[in-house]
Amino acid sequence: RIRVNGIYPSAIMAWGFSTSKGTKEETYAYYEKQMPLGVVGEPKDIASLALFLCCEMSSYLDGQHYLVDGGRFHLG
């Protein structure tokens, strides 16, 4: 009765996020343009999925990989 699922985040604006594109605001603007949803992920987006996977509502999910990237993977 052990379930194993993986969460794979993309660009998430969290503490320590790389500002290789300039300031934090410039970095956010850079990634925002690349996201199909038009927003950059935040820690709460990952936390929400993790919480869901811990609750009874996901009790039948097992062995899945969840890509949390705002649709960026599908751009290539």
Instruction: Write out pLDDT tens, residues 6-35.
Output: 999 987 887 767 667 778 788 888 888 888
Please list the alpha-helical segments (H only) found in 1-76: 24-34, 43-54
User: Beta 65-68 vs 6-9: how paired, if at all?
Assistant: parallel
Dihedrals phi, psi of 15, to nearest 5 degrees? -55, 135
Instruction: Write out pLDDT tens, residues 24-70.
Output: 788 888 888 888 888 889 999 999 999 999 999 999 999 999 999 88
Residue 31 has a CB neighbour count (10 Å cut-off) of 20
- What integer pLDDT is reported at residue 15 of this predicted model? 72
Residue 74 pLDDT class (50, 70, 90 cuts)? confident
Residue 76 pLDDT class (50, 70, 90 cuts)? low
